[in-house]
Amino acid sequence: MGLVSAACLAKLGHQVVCVDINEQRIATLMQGECPIHEKELPQLLKEQLESGHLLFTTNLLDAIEHATIQMITVGTPGLPDDQADLSQIFALTTQIAQHADRDMLVVIKSTVPVGTGHDIEKHMNDALLRTDKPHRIDVISNPEFLCEGNAIHDFLHADRIIIGGDLQRITPIIAVYQTLVDRGVPIQCMSRVSAELTKYAANAMLACKISFINQISQIADKIGANMDEVQAGMSSDHRIGSHFLQVGMGYGGSCFPKDVRALAKKAKVLQVDSCLLDAINNVNNLQKKWAIDRLLQHFKNQLQGLTIGIWGLAFKPGTDDIREASSIVVMNALLQYGTQLRVYDPVAMSNARLCLGDNHAITWCDSADDVLFDHVDALVIDTAWDLFKNYSLDRLREELGMAPIMDGCNCFDLSEIRQAGIGYYYSVGRPIEGVVAEL
Ligand code: UGA
């Protein structure tokens, strides 16, 4: 989010200095290389480096001296007790306060629990007082709504820009977004706590839709309904709409899982019953076992010694991010059951290798074909990459024979599966399909 925001702000004509403590990452960026898989980012990065609007450094003082607006995009990962880990944000703001040599506006883009803006503002101004500095630091909440894989577009064509803070203090940050506002992007100003809560509420609402439709798919599975039809029927009600009602193997990524848990935790701390937020999380955890449950059912609980192919490791297509991906849950469970795995993802292989470590039971394949090249007893599809969706069903039939496909992304139309004569095809919330199923 930091890199995308910086590159986009540079594109809007601002002079942006980016700081990171990771020296290798900064060195890579200075050479114009993009360290993450994100659509259009490598090109934008190069452009803005060449234009001189974007600078990278590991020296925080450079950034503090450069601007009165300091945007914070550090991570706020979940702690074991589900609270957000605010250590990075507090460490950074302590340093900004130490080195501030004028009034400043600190803009928090990181997702932080409601009330954090207040705590940070107090923390920074107390530090200024202790050093007898006559300056003042205002903390503004400016949450981002970028989706990985589409982040540049989401930044430049945002549905809205949310700014939370004291109305008299937010003018400079509104000016930062003026070009987007002139192009019609609405800006919504509100209190800081409302902005902080809006971010969590938006993510929890989207996660809620996914868990809701996934739970409906479990009912569909039991009664032989078809979620393609149910979704079409539901979505044509304009009050419901079609977004975020795609069934699958549960939501992953660095945002929904941790944000829903952190919001539930905050509710509990505030003595608010968090039953709905807990349910969103619980349904999601169950859904991540979808492929394992189907494999156990198909192989009558005998998975030991089987070889399973895995297509897709990223938590969704368009990214190399594997954080909280269903693929990792599936692979860890399958390894526990004593299976051999042949896995492939077009961009997330190195992240998955780092996460799972060297394991002789995993063969890291070079392509989707390569997964099927040696015999596999079943194929699990974990990420809906176009590469998999467009894969030849004739080829799948030839390579797999009667080995089942567990398609956790509903990549194929059931009618196409039928026509291609696939042996066994399991998908989420749709009847089991294939030659054998029809017998
Ligand atoms: C999410 C939000 O969509 C962004 O608005 C927000 O800015 C971001 O979190 C954040 O807080 O930074 P992201 O995590 O990139 O963005 O991914 P999404 O596209 O929202 O997908 C999240 C997960 O939900 C993925 O695993 C995806 O496969 C799953 N999903 C999504 C479904 O299972 N069904 C759907 O219908 C949609």
Nearest Cα residue to atom 24 of ligand 1: 251
Average pLDDT over residues 48-72: 94
What is the rounded average pLDDT for all residues in the chain? 95
Question: Ligand 1 pocket by C-beta < 6 Å: which residues?
Answer: 111, 144-148, 203, 206, 210, 244-246, 248, 251-253, 255-256, 315-316
- Identify residue 55 by its one-letter amino acid code: L
The Cα 207–Cα 204 span in angstroms is: 5
Q: Is 255 a catalytic residue?
A: yes
- So what's the pLDDT on residue 404? 96
Q: Which atom of ligand 1 is nearest to the CA of 249?
A: 33
Rounded to the nearest angstrom, the distance between the alpha carbon of 256 and the centre of ligand 1 is 7
- So what's the pLDDT on residue 167? 87
The Cα 37–Cα 315 span in angstroms is: 13
- So what's the pLDDT on residue 437? 61
Catalytic pick among 8, 18, 208, 255 = 255
Nearest Cα residue to atom 35 of ligand 1: 244
Q: In this structure, what are the phi and psi dihedrals at residue 310, rounded to the nearest 5 degrees?
A: -125, 120
The Cα 44–Cα 42 span in angstroms is: 6
Q: Which atom of ligand 1 is nearest to the CA of 111?
A: 11
- So what's the pLDDT on residue 428? 98
- So what's the pLDDT on residue 433? 84
Rounded to the nearest angstrom, the distance between the alpha carbon of 101 and the centre of ligand 1 is 40
Nearest Cα residue to atom 1 of ligand 1: 147
Average pLDDT over residues 303-323: 97
pLDDT tens per residue across span 348-388: 999 999 999 889 999 999 999 999 998 999 999 999 999 99
Rounded to the nearest angstrom, the distance between the alpha carbon of 209 and the centre of ligand 1 is 11
Give Cα 312 distance to the centre of its chain: 15
Please state the pTM of the whole predicted model.
0.94
Strand locations in 82-238, DSSP E?
104-108, 137-141, 161-164, 187-190
Rounded to the nearest angstrom, the distance between the alpha carbon of 251 and the centre of ligand 1 is 7
- So what's the pLDDT on residue 152? 97
Nearest Cα residue to atom 30 of ligand 1: 251
Q: In this structure, what are the phi and psi dihedrals at residue 32, rounded to the nearest 5 degrees?
A: 85, 15
Average pLDDT over residues 250-263: 96
